């Protein structure tokens, strides 16, 4: 450790989202964000930066020893902040904090943020994140959930509630769906209503001390860790409040130290009633198990027992080139290890129903069994309706079924979630690659060529293949240089050689009715042009007239916005029909107007309208109407 920080806590600048109290969101969500800061404060002198900022200025002012960037949160009313100039102060180590579920569709946004902010090492509150996103597993550590003992402890309340049932129980929680009804039929229960996080009624839910006291007054409380078998806060909050934890057996909970009938109860819908009957008939045994669970959590799983981020900061100082940092299990310490020993962090295995279905679907798709693959991917969405791997798999199924139009919609929706809903600077590179490929398969080669350079810094092996394919079919004199650094993806695509991949593409093109494009690629034996057939611009493979006109409208408006020196209003979604481009543009302009920039917004819109009006093409009239519509409806610019 450097002499500069000897004798004091190291300074940490925590770039956290703007998590403000919101009447339309659950109160405990804000409490969780505050507990992250409280946990860090055990080891760091923490300064929270939760508004749009300049990284250079923040570092000059705070002089932090470490910076931590929160990302990947599924908003629920919180605002993702904008951070400029993160390339400055390269000597200050950076970490990314993935604050989200391991299956979440915001992971692509997290990877985009980390890439643009220059962050290469990550911590996640999810024990399953390394297993669910194996492309970054080597650089991801777990900073697991914990409890605040100032809130969750034994209040000494009389036990008056046999069983407390709290938490949501929809498709993401199959264990709760089967166990909760069985318990309700057999025992008196305190049942908390299930509200969505962002529901206006969510503020009615018990949180903080009121929630802890309700648990403390209960003999038992069941919970589970979702379809994936995650370790969630409830697993610690229940025993920390001196209530008996009833849950399903998972590798994560066993790694946390839970043992059946020693400090918790592992059960399912087949035996949960028998086990509870057994313990209610033997109160001494129930008290012993409950007390053991209480002792486990308060000795190993409070905010004071989460030093992993500080351990990484300490270990990396003076780390020799022949050593790496690894983690001994999801709740374990970080330690140094020699590279040549072949040791690595030991993540929790991903054995949930959703991962099993994904593996089954991929195997079926590989062997041409499209129907069963489609069914398995669709069943994944019954658990998590927004799971990106399942939606991507359905897009592949659509391509192999010859339905390129549906594939455009499916892949486009994934791109839109990351760039539009989340607000990332660019999409997952594999999502983007297969959206472009689906355009080609839909006969919209000209549009694929136009959109190819929408994200100049995006690079990935699969995207580079699609780029080369489009360049070959639709050559252009000017093309942006491919980014040098490879972007990670949430998707694990099938491993194919260049020749195998090209043959797969040719077969897919023919299935989608694009035999002419497939023939132009030759037999698909390699990635080069067949002898005597140089790349040609296939004029016959352009979008239908209406589709082409729509595409040109979007492209024209986007060029005008870019040329009007109003880059803040320009959406990060591609200017194409699949991405609700005009909706995002209108939203951005509205934010500019409501954010105290109404006059600049009006002036810019007036310039936009004037630029379009001065256009020479007749199609400019159509663009003019679109711009005028946005101008009048959003910020009141006169037509």
CATH of the domain at 186: 3.40.50.2000
Residue 487, pLDDT above cutoff 50: yes
Token pair listed for 298: 């308060």
Q: What pLDDT does residue 49 have?
A: 98
What mean pLDDT is predicted for residues 295-312?
98
Q: Domain count for the chain, please give it.
A: 4
Q: What pLDDT does residue 23 have?
A: 52
| Domain co-membership, 30 together with 48 | yes
CATH code at position 404: 1.25.40.10
Q: How many CB atoms lie within 10 A of CB 389?
A: 25
Q: Is residue 533, in this structure, part of any structural domain at all? A: no
CA distance 253 to 147: 15
Q: What pLDDT does residue 584 have?
A: 79
Q: What pLDDT does residue 526 have?
A: 45
Ramachandran category for residue 422: left, alpha or beta (phi over 0 → left; psi -120 to 50 → alpha): alpha
| Domain co-membership, 178 together with 124 | no
Q: Is residue 550, in this structure, part of any structural domain at all? A: yes
Residue 528, pLDDT above cutoff 60: no
| Domain co-membership, 130 together with 12 | yes
CATH code at position 41: 3.40.50
Q: Tell me which of 34-43, 157-166, 229-238, 467-476 is least confident.
A: 467-476
| Domain co-membership, 271 together with 313 | no
Q: What pLDDT does residue 554 have?
A: 80
| Domain co-membership, 507 together with 452 | yes
Token pair listed for 354: 């959703």
| Domain co-membership, 78 together with 134 | yes
Residue 596, pLDDT above cutoff 50: no
| Domain co-membership, 448 together with 403 | yes
**Residue 482 — pLDDT band, cuts 50, 70, 90?**
low
Rounded alpha-carbon distances, angstroms, from residue 499 to 126, 521, 522? 38, 11, 12
Q: Is residue 202, in this structure, part of any structural domain at all? A: yes
Residue 267, pLDDT above cutoff 50: yes
List, as own/partner pairs, every contact residues 499-506 make where C-beta atoms lie below 8 angstroms and the sequence separation is at least 24, other chains included.
499/524, 499/525, 499/526, 499/527, 501/465, 502/469, 502/526, 502/527, 505/437, 505/469
Q: What is the 3-state secondary structure (H, E, C) of 227-268?
A: CCCCCCCHHHHHHHCCCEEEECCCHHHHHCCCCECCCEEECC
176: Cβ contacts below 8 Å, ≥ 6 apart: 167, 168, 169, 222, 223, 224
Higher pLDDT, 465 or 635: 465
Q: Tell me which of 224-233, 243-252, 622-631 is least confident.
A: 622-631
Residue 43 contacts residue 309 (beta carbons within 8 Å) = yes
What mean pLDDT is predicted for residues 569-585?
80
Q: Is residue 540, in this structure, part of any structural domain at all? A: no
CA distance 414 to 392: 8
Mean pLDDT, the chain, integer: 87
Q: Is residue 345, in this structure, part of any structural domain at all? A: no
- pTM, entire model: 0.88
Q: How many CB atoms lie within 10 A of CB 97?
A: 24
Closest among 573, 575, 572, 569 to 552, alpha carbons compared: 575
Q: Which helix (H) or strand (E) covers residue 518, if one does? A: helix 515-520
Q: Is residue 334, in this structure, part of any structural domain at all? A: no
| Domain co-membership, 294 together with 310 | no
What mean pLDDT is predicted for residues 351-372?
95
CA distance 426 to 435: 13
Give CA 135 to chain center in angstroms: 14
Q: Tell me which of 47-56, 363-372, 601-610, 625-634 is least confident.
A: 625-634
Q: What SS3 class is residue 38?
A: helix
The whole domain housing 287 covers: 161-303
Token pair listed for 121: 């090492």
CA distance 604 to 374: 47
Task: Give percent above pLDDT 90 in the chain.
Answer: 67
| Domain co-membership, 499 together with 560 | no
Q: What SS3 class is residue 31?
A: helix
Residue 243 contacts residue 249 (beta carbons within 8 Å) = no
What mean pLDDT is predicted for residues 188-198?
86
Q: Is residue 176, in this structure, part of any structural domain at all? A: yes
Residue 632, pLDDT above cutoff 60: no
| Domain co-membership, 80 together with 134 | yes
DSSP string, 255-316: HTT--BTTTBEE--TTTHHHHHHHHHT-HHHHHHHHHHHHHHHHHHSBGGG--HHHHHHHHH
| Domain co-membership, 299 together with 313 | no
Residue 577, pLDDT above cutoff 70: yes
| Domain co-membership, 312 together with 282 | no
Q: Is residue 341, in this structure, part of any structural domain at all? A: no
Q: What pLDDT does residue 598 have?
A: 45
What mean pLDDT is predicted for residues 188-197?
87
């Amino acid at each position: 450790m450097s002499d500069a920080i000897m004798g004091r806590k190291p300074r940490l600048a925590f770039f956290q989202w703007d998590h403000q109290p919101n009447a339309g969101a659950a109160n405990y969500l804000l409490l969780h964000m505050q507990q992250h800061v409280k946990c860090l404060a055990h080891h760091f002198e923490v300064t929270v930066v939760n508004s749009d900022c300049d990284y250079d200025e923040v570092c000059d002012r705070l002089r932090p020893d470490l910076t931590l960037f929160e990302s990947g949160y599924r908003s629920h009313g919180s605002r993702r902040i904008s951070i400029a100039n993160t390339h400055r102060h390269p000597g200050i180590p950076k970490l990314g904090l993935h604050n989200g579920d391991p299956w979440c569709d915001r992971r692509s946004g997290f990877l985009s943020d980390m890439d643009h902010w220059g962050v290469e090492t990550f911590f996640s509150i999810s024990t399953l994140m390394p297993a669910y996103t194996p492309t970054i597993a080597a650089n991801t550590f777990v900073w697991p959930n914990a409890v605040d003992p100032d809130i969750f402890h034994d209040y000494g309340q009389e036990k008056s509630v046999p069983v407390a049932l709290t938490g949501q129980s929809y498709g993401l929680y199959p264990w709760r769906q089967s166990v909760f009804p069985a318990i309700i039929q057999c025992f008196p229960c305190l049942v908390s209503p299930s509200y969505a996080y962002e529901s206006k009624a969510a503020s009615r839910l018990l949180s903080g001390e009121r929630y802890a006291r309700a648990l403390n007054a209960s003999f038992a409380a069941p919970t589970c860790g979702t379809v994936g078998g995650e370790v969630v806060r409830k697993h610690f909050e229940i025993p920390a409040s001196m209530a008996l934890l009833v849950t399903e057996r998972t590798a994560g909970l066993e790694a946390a130290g839970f043992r059946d009938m020693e400090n918790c109860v592992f059960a399912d819908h087949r035996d949960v009633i028998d086990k509870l009957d057994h313990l209610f008939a033997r109160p001494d045994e129930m008290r012993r198990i409950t007390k053991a669970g209480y002792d486990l959590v308060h000795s190993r799983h409070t905010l004071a027992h989460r030093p992993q981020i500080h351990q990484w900061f300490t270990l990396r100082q003076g780390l020799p080139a022949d050593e790496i940092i690894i983690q001994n299990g999801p709740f374990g310490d970080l330690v140094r290890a020699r590279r040549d020993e072949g040791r690595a962090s030991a993540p929790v295995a991903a054995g949930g129903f959703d991962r099993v279905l994904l593996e089954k679907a991929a195997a079926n798709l590989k062997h041409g069994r499209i129907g069963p693959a489609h069914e398995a991917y669709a069943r994944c969405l019954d658990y998590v309706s927004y799971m990106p791997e399942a939606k991507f798999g359905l897009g592949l199924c659509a391509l192999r079924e010859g339905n390129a139009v549906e594939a455009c919609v499916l892949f486009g929706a994934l791109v839109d979630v990351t760039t539009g809903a989340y607000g990332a600077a660019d999409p997952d590179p594999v999502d983007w690659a297969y959206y472009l490929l689906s355009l080609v398969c839909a006969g919209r080669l000209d549009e694929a060529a136009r959109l190819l350079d929408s994200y100049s810094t995006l690079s990935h092996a699969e995207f580079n293949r699609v780029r080369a394919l489009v360049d070959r079919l639709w050559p252009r004199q000017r093309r942006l240089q491919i980014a040098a650094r490879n972007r990670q993806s949430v998707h694990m695509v099938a491993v194919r050689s260049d020749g195998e991949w090209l043959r797969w593409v040719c077969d897919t093109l023919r299935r989608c009715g694009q035999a002419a494009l497939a023939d132009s690629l030759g037999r698909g034996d390699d990635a080069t042009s067949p002898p005597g057939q140089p790349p040609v611009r296939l004029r016959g493979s352009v979008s239908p007239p209406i589709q082409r006109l729509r595409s040109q409208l979007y492209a024209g408006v986007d060029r005008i916005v870019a040329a009007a020196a109003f880059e803040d209003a320009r959406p990060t979604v591609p200017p194409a029909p699949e991405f609700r481009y005009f909706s995002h543009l209108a939203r951005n302009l509205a934010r500019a107007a409501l954010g105290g920039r109404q006059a600049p917004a009006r002036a810019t819109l007036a310039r936009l309208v004037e630029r379009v009006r001065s256009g020479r093409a007749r199609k400019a009239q159509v663009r003019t109407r679109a711009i005028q519509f946005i101008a009048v409806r959003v910020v009141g610019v006169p037509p």
